[in-house]
Amino acid sequence: MSEIKTQAIVLSSTDYKDADKKLTLLSVEYGLIYATIKGVKKPKAKLAGASQPFCFAEFLLNKKGEYYTVINASVIESFFEVTNNFDKFIIGTGMLEFCKKTIKQNDPSVDLFVLLLKALRLLETKDANPMAALIRFLIDGLKIIGYNLKLDTCSCCGKKEMLSLGFNYSLEHGGIVCKKCGTINNSYILEPGEQGVIKNISITSIDDIFKLKFSSRENLISVIKILLRQVNLFIGEELTSIKQYL
C-alpha cells in the first residue's frame, strides 16, 4: 500500500455502491487513473466537489495493486460555468471523452493535459464559441497523439497553389484536399463557409480562439461532424457525448 499525490482532472464519475463513486482521472504524472471515492453521495460530504466531472484538484490517493482510493482532495478549479451552461457542458464533456479514449494508464501526456486545461479555461472564462474551441481542441489533440491533420497544404498532392480556388476534406488523407485531388467520390465537398471555418481556426492558436466570430452555427457543426469521423477513423472509437448533440 502506498500513497501518491497528483494533480488531476476528473474525466468521468459513475455511481458505485450506495454512497461511493468511481472516478476516471487524468493525471499529469500517471496518465489515466481509476479511483474510488467514498461517501461522496452522503449529504455534506467533504469530497463531493472533487467527485464531479471537470473538477481539477490535487488528489491524495491510496494505491493498492492496481486499485486507487481517494483519501483527500483539494479543489483547484471546479469549472462551474462549464458545468452550468448546456452548450459548454456538452462540448466540454466531449473534450473529456477524447482524453479518456486516447490516454492510457501509466502513459501520461503532459501536452494533452495542458491542452485540456487550456480548453476548459477558455470555455470557463472567455467569451469563446464552444464549437470553435472544440474544433481547435480536436485538431491539437489529434496532433499530440500522433495524427497531424494537414490543413495548410493539399494532403494528397502536397501543393498549396490550388487551394485558393477552394478545397474539400479527405478522411483517408487526414486533411484538406485541392479540387484536383478531392472529388465527390473520395472526399467531403466543403461549402465556402465550411472552408472558412477550417481556414480560420487552423491558423488561430487555442489561446486566441475567443477572438474569432462565426455567423453560421451550421458551418461549425459540419466541420465538427467531419472531425468526429476523422477521430473515429484514427482511434477506432466514437465520441458519443457530442454526437448526440449535433
Measured from the CB of residue 160, what is the shortest distance to Zn ion in angstroms? 9
What is the DSSP track for 57-105?
Answer: EEEEEEEETTEEEEEEEEEEE--HHHHHSHHHHHHHHHHHHHHHHH-BB
Where do the H-state alpha helices sit in 103-171? 110-125, 130-144
Nearer to Zn ion, 128 or 181 (CB): 181
Stretch that binds Zn ion, among 57-65, 69-77, 170-178, 230-238 (CB under 5 A): 170-178
Place of cell 464559441: 129
Of 47, 154, 190, 209, the residue at the interface with Zn ion (CB under 5 A) is 154
Measured from the CB of residue 135, what is the shortest distance to Zn ion in angstroms? 22
Nearer to Zn ion, 151 or 221 (CB): 151
Does residue 156 bind Zn ion (CB under 5 A)?
yes
Stretch that binds Zn ion, among 19-27, 35-43, 171-179, 212-220 (CB under 5 A): 171-179
Does residue 157 bind Zn ion (CB under 5 A)?
yes
Nearer to Zn ion, 54 or 169 (CB): 169
Measured from the CB of residue 196, what is the shortest distance to Zn ion in angstroms? 19
What distance in Å separates the CA atoms of residue 28 and residue 113, rounded to the nearest whole number? 6
Cα–Cα nearest to 8, from 56, 54, 72: 56
The DSSP bridge pattern shows strands 20-27 and 2-16 to be antiparallel
The residues binding Zn ion (CB under 5 A) are 154, 156-157, 178, 181
